[in-house]
A and B are shown apart, each in its own frame.
Chain A
């Protein structure tokens, strides 16, 4: 199969730089997911791999061969589009067989491969229908079927599930995961759904305005986000950020505090683009799941009042207002009830807390 290597890949539309130098190695058989906010360049990057967008500079190689100037048809890739892009004037069978027909495959070979794809995707009964007679999920299956029959080196998916409803999305997500397992093919998948990213990926690439923020396994990114952006992007509910002041600092960690937080030593240093020193204000990141509320005001280091309790059955999400006015969210893994207005204190394992230097770009966008 195939390894895909991006070296300092750049793309600009006129004077606008959309991809600002991406370095990435996608190993053979790996499932890589691009995530990031809308407009960050995920689709553009994927389309550059596909050959549908020109590369402004940098090199793209598939299996050691530089493919910058190869046409999409010569790159041995298959792509599944958000709009499915199945041909409306052909039956499902003709759609799935399209690539083979173009390649001049024999009828027997075509039938064998198309029937195999139909079996894998459980759409044997749909083969003679027209796309207009299919549901969204069925159309997506056809698009995936068309991709798999040609046995490409690399599969590219651009938000393939975003037009489906939640239940179908979960089914299809599992099917894509299974497909990756069965075919053990290299897959690149674009989404802005972090559940898809977390569950499917071997490797997640977090993008922001055309630059890579962090690359790593889902759990790596979840537990060790490299910066404020990645920390806030992954995890649901998203991480709480508190403005805290550094009161002491050495090589192994620092002590921070603010109006609602008793001084606490965090055994790590602030992460991010800039360096921090004693007296600086930094962000303390706390995952909602790692906060333990208690009605005993002395038992925790963080103090606040309950605003709202959302009981989801398997989980309880508690909204709090800290004594300095900031909002905080706590997620508890069981059903629990806290009265509105109740004073609580919260404790957390300092090793599970993160410190980040502030991100000017994020702060600017948060104000809008």
Chain B
């Protein structure tokens, strides 16, 4: 009996690993293709796509495409811009949205449920439908900066950051998570003398690791992949993010090798971010069931 069940167990394990390996391969192939192709001259790259050679670094391998990419576009500026915009938005978004959710879940105030349902209703409004009004609005908004009062937010970092700090999905994630926290913990803290800000900082946030990771990753991906909005609001290279920068490679003479080199470069921050959050992310999927 014992040996049969052990065999069964072993077999199950083998099957499980095979499936997981297959899934991993499916997910890794496009990345391998991208990196490998970025090392090949265009002609060979296109010829190789008809065979498995597309995934192998063989033939005329060099980093010429990378030099060319840097020559064609200010890649460093684009990556830096995206990292700044994404990083600042993620941090502010986690902070603001978790505070909003805290208020919706733990505080009692008039109109709370109505406002929450309005915020959640924005989840079904596609960004494209508000893009134009938002553009008109942000072209007229005031700002107090280094040069005193100025009007219009176009061609700045802030126009790419501020509209995306608070969003329904992130608030929703936090609301759901906070609702599942044991209510008696919050009550115990209240009885012990903690104020609401203290409860937020000392009790709720330290217990929110999984949802923070989930929200951070979703926000990161959404922000890093911004295309339509920066295309509308930024005309100067100085503030342009990576996805808009991709245009440079489709104009005039299109070079696939350079495109692949550029894509490989802009994937680096994503991988770095992902690796840092990986542990927390896995824990978050296990506990919240939200997919990234």
- A residues with a Cβ closer than 8 A to B are 50-52, 71-73, 77-79, 81-83, 85-89, 98-99, 102-103, 143, 146, 150
Q: How far is the CA of A99 from the CA of B202 in the complex (A)?
A: 12
**How many residues does chain B have at the interface if contact means C-beta atoms less than 8 Å apart?**
17
User: Chain B 161-183, CB within 8 Å of chain A: the 1/0 string?
Assistant: 00000000000000000000010
Min C-beta distance of A275 to chain B, whole Å = 45
A113 to chain B, nearest CB (A): 14
Q: Which residues of B contact A99 (CB under 8 A)?
A: 192-193
| Bound CA span A52–B185, Å | 12
Q: List 29 A-B contacts (CB under 8 A).
A: A51-B190, A51-B191, A73-B190, A73-B191, A73-B194, A77-B191, A78-B191, A78-B192, A79-B187, A81-B188, A82-B184, A85-B182, A85-B185, A85-B187, A85-B188, A87-B185, A87-B189, A87-B203, A88-B185, A88-B207, A89-B206, A99-B192, A99-B193, A102-B192, A102-B194, A102-B195, A102-B202, A146-B188, A146-B192
Which residues of B have CB within 8 Å of A103? 193
Please tell me if the beta carbons of A150 and B192 are within 8 angstroms of each other in the complex: yes
Chain A residue numbers with a CB within 8 Å of B187 are 50, 52, 72, 79, 81, 85
Closest-by-CB residue of A relative to B185 is A85
CA of A99 to CA of B206, assembled, Å: 17
Contact A52 B190 (CB under 8 A): yes
Further contacts, 17 of them, CB under 8 A, given A79-B187, A83-B182? A50-B187, A50-B191, A52-B190, A72-B190, A72-B191, A73-B190, A73-B191, A78-B191, A78-B192, A81-B187, A83-B184, A85-B184, A86-B188, A87-B185, A88-B207, A89-B206, A102-B202
In the docked arrangement, what's the CA distance between A98 and B185, Å? 12
Would B207 and A89 count as touching, CB distance under 8 A? yes
Contact B192 A98 (CB under 8 A): yes
Chain A residues near B225 (CB-CB < 8 A) = none
Q: Does B198 contact A (CB under 8 A)?
A: yes
Query: B residues within 8 A CB of A102?
Result: 192-195, 198, 202
Residue pair A98, B191 in contact (C-beta under 8 Å): no
Chain A residues whose CB sits within 8 angstroms of the CB of B207 once the complex forms: 88-89
Q: How distant is the Cα of A174 from the Cα of B184 in the complex, in angstroms?
A: 25
* B195 close to A73 (CB less than 8 A): yes
Considering the chains assembled together, what is the distance between the CA atoms of A335 and B148 in angstroms? 96
Q: How far is the CA of A352 from the CA of B246 in the complex (A)?
A: 95
User: Cα distance A357–B193 when bound, in Å?
Assistant: 48
**Residues in B186-229 with C-beta less than 8 Å from chain A:** 187-195, 198, 202-203, 206-207
Distance in angstroms between the alpha carbons of A363 and B184 in the assembled complex: 36
Q: Which residues of A contact B192 (CB under 8 A)?
A: 73, 78, 98-99, 102, 146, 150
Instruction: Tell whether, in the assembled complex, residue B188 and residue A71 are in contact, meaning their CB atoms are under 8 Å apart.
Output: no
Q: Top 10 closest A-B pairs, CB basis?
A: A85-B184, A85-B188, A99-B192, A73-B193, A89-B206, A79-B191, A72-B190, A81-B184, A72-B191, A102-B193
Nearest-CB distance from A112 to chain B (Å)? 18
- Residues of A contacting B184 in the complex (Cβ-Cβ under 8 angstroms): 81-83, 85
Closest B residue, CB atoms, query A78: B191
Within the complex, the shortest CB–CB distance from A135 to chain B, in Å, comes to 19
Give the interface centre of A52, A85, A146 by most chain B CB atoms within 10 Å: A85
